[in-house]
Chains A and B, each alone.
Chain A
């Protein structure tokens, strides 16, 4: 790549100077998106841009790509690609530049590929557009790039539509497209967030390989510090539109100077930093699942002959395990592994075969599940936005389980609501507010308080931290553990975050395609006798070491 060879190594490929960006709003007060941002990436390096949601990291990506909404107001600064200010480019010049000199890999390959165009066409069109290839040349080059991204039968993949490829394959196509025109800079916007653990790891490996091969300069946007420490040599921390710290990875993560960096680093879940005490000794189990089976897609209606034959999917296959009183049992697995199916069975929301024994009562089908069971087993869902009624105040939301399960007087209910809010560290005044007036973390606290309101014996937490930012996630996890230990409630903690689950679970169950493949004491996570799939999962997850280097835990 001639353009790149001519540059001295100390010079920057992408250089952003004092860049300030606002978004105009209808009521006249602009929202500040980026404040005096300065950032430069040297040739062949990967810069990790780390920040939480709303920090402005994506706005910066759009600014570089010159893809700003109509209400964006650029107040000052330069965005230079090899010394050329992109802000001065015309629309036509920008169109010629995108995909050829700067390209982008997006978060979700499921939505960033056009569903009605063949995958091959979506790569080839970039090549015909920017490199002047004929249709035939473009096809050949596309196929070659697909092969380089590790797609085993590239010619076959060329002819497929997005829905005929897996998430990992689709992201490889997106990556192939981004690299196809040999751009000088590629922006990666959380390219593994939407993927499963093991697939994400493979995409990271691919990124490493292609980066070594092509020497492309990369801006890697992520909220995951462990992951960034693995891919990036340089780090920029962004908080509320400002770069608060910038430098080499070991420097920033090993000796953080800014308190924001320190806070985030402390919040990153690390398997060695346990946040629970040992499980209370107990003779029997509180909950016992025996041979639980769930299948989806079985035909039921009398007009079934008018429906196509559907494949019957096993959500859970012969699953048996027990939960002791006061224990936190983690359930991990990739999407579709059956972990949420189990949550639904235990919450009485899903038909099942087999038996569920709870507190010496036996339930063998969904309809057996009675009010007493529902009181003692509570669930917290993934998205508090969807699980809290937007038209009820927080007080009303918290009063529902109290009225339903306990015979309390009006004043007692008011007192309990105040107590519950205090127990999840929210001010009592929140009782009069509506869910939309609360932040994501606060809403999840309300959902937790609601689950504990009925004084349950078991709380099911279904991915309760996955929609939250790292720092909020840590606080919610700590809060949950505190409540759980105070009340002695058992907890089923369903998650795909292996580092987090190793911080707080007493035992961990691993699910794969509806099977329970492994169940072990958390301290035994790295033991020899672990199932091969468990080992694969653990190896796939980057762990951030205290030195700031990425590494494997032991």
Chain B
């Protein structure tokens, strides 16, 4: 892969993010009620609102406000939260870290479980084992997070003698054991549907590879089964698996919002819901941008990983 390619891809990411800033800003402009009303509350007089609008510059043309906002953003000034009277960077920063920990735990779980499961099913194609795994995977993809989360709560965190806490968060800096104790249920709820989806994709990818001409050629060269699977088939099905996982990250970002709310996990999702309820515009804008950025960058990273796994993929 050439530096020119990387540069072009980064340019594309910046272009996407710029379009997202316009969309985010436009949406907050059409929402009823502006920042002045938010700050003053619903009993404010029109005069008070007008005075504050004047002071905040809310009566200037939209384009001017947009570019001022964008300019501040680029300088790292994310503004103040209207609700919490704290800098947005501070509020969002710690929530982002908490969400990242939850997402990473879920993603690692998904990858470690789904990929081997898919490969195993493909190797046992047509047998009862394969049928069983496929059945579970179908069931899994039909269960959204809120259903899984509720089930997990009922089973593992039922009042009386709960095996695991029903919600909350302990920073890993404070207690690693405590962190894991709390992360199991939310990460489990997030992982379930993704594991099912990715296992299905990996299975179908791997069985395509296993029935390909070059696998037949390897077998007819007298290669042992272990070498055929690990040396010939596996490298060919990893790159498509990475592509599927990176597509699913978009889904994971959506799921995290639901799951954090259910398990009271102090992350971006919870913060976003709080900000939406309170029309905390600066926070909403920054979180939306941040999610778009994470999605764009993980896609870029997955493309780079695919290029490393498959010699045919050459970016120039």
Q: Which residues of A contact B (CB under 8 A)?
A: 65, 67, 95-100, 103-104, 106, 108, 111-117, 125-126, 129-130, 161, 163, 174, 177, 305-309
Contact = CB atoms under 8 A, between A and B. Distances in A.
Contact of B11 (A116, A161, A306): A306
A125 B274 CA distance: 60
Contacts of B12: 306
B214 A112 contact: yes
A394 B315 CA distance: 46
Nearest to B236: A116
Contacts of A95: 222-224
Contacts of B312: 115-116, 161, 163
Interface in B215-232: 215-224, 227, 231-232
B221 A112 contact: no
B236 A67 contact: no
B5 interface: yes
A125 B214 contact: no
B174 interface: no
B222 A126 contact: yes
A129 to B, nearest CB: 6
B223 A129 contact: yes
Interface string B225-243: 0010001100110000000
A95 B216 CA distance: 13
Given A111-B212, A111-B213, A125-B231, A116 B310 contact: yes
B54 to A, nearest CB: 41
Contacts of A103: 220-221
Contacts of B309: 116
Interface in B254-304: none
A203 to B, nearest CB: 17
A125 B220 contact: no
Contacts of B222: 95-100, 126, 129-130
Contacts of B316: 308-309
Interface residues of B, number: 30
A113 B221 contact: no
Given A98-B221, A112-B214, 7 more contacts: A67-B220, A99-B220, A104-B217, A104-B220, A106-B213, A111-B212, A306-B11
B300 to A, nearest CB: 13
Contact of A129 (B11, B224, B232): B224
B8 interface: yes
> In terms of DSSP, what is the predominant structure of the interface of chain B?
helix
Interface of B: 4-5, 8, 11-12, 15, 212-224, 227, 231-232, 235-236, 309-312, 315-316
Nearest to B225: A95
11 contacts: A67-B220, A97-B222, A99-B223, A112-B214, A114-B218, A125-B223, A125-B227, A129-B222, A305-B8, A305-B11, A306-B15
A386 to B, nearest CB: 21
Contacts of A108: 213
A161 B310 CA distance: 10
A111 B223 CA distance: 17
A129 B12 CA distance: 48
A79 B80 CA distance: 83
Most interface-central of A95, A103, A309 (chain B CB within 10 A)? A95
A283 to B, nearest CB: 53
Given A115-B236, A116-B310, A177 B213 contact: no
A548 B5 CA distance: 58
Contacts of B315: 308
Contacts, number: 86
Contacts of A100: 222
Nearest to A177: B221
A456 to B, nearest CB: 40
Contacts of B219: 67, 98
A174 B218 CA distance: 11
Contacts of A126: 221-223
Contacts of A65: 220
Nearest to B221: A99
Nearest to A96: B222
Nearest to A126: B221
Contacts of A307: 8
Contact of A115 (B8, B214, B223): B214
B68 to A, nearest CB: 28
Most interface-central of A96, A103, A113, A116 (chain B CB within 10 A)? A116
A129 B220 CA distance: 12
A100 B215 CA distance: 17
Contact of A114 (B4, B5, B220, B232): B232
Contacts of A163: 311-312
Given A125-B231, A306-B11, A113 B214 contact: yes
A125 B221 contact: yes
Contacts of B220: 65, 67, 98-99, 103-104
A108 B213 CA distance: 9
Contacts of A114: 214-215, 217-218, 232, 236
Nearest to B15: A306
Contacts of B5: 308
B264 to A, nearest CB: 42
A113 B236 contact: no
B107 to A, nearest CB: 24
A188 to B, nearest CB: 13
Shortest beta-carbon contacts, A-B, top 4: A99-B222, A98-B222, A111-B213, A99-B221
B296 to A, nearest CB: 13
A65 B217 CA distance: 11
A183 to B, nearest CB: 10
A322 B12 CA distance: 48
B9 to A, nearest CB: 8
Contacts of A305: 8, 11
Contacts of B218: 114
Nearest to A307: B8
A113 B220 CA distance: 12
Nearest to B315: A308
A190 to B, nearest CB: 13
Contacts of B15: 306
Contacts of A161: 311-312
A306 B8 contact: yes
Given A67-B219, A98-B219, A161-B311, A112 B224 contact: no
A119 to B, nearest CB: 11
A66 to B, nearest CB: 9
Nearest to A101: B222
A163 B310 CA distance: 11
Contacts of A99: 220-223
Contact of B217 (A97, A113, A116, A308): A113
Given A103-B221, A111-B214, A163-B312, A116 B235 contact: yes
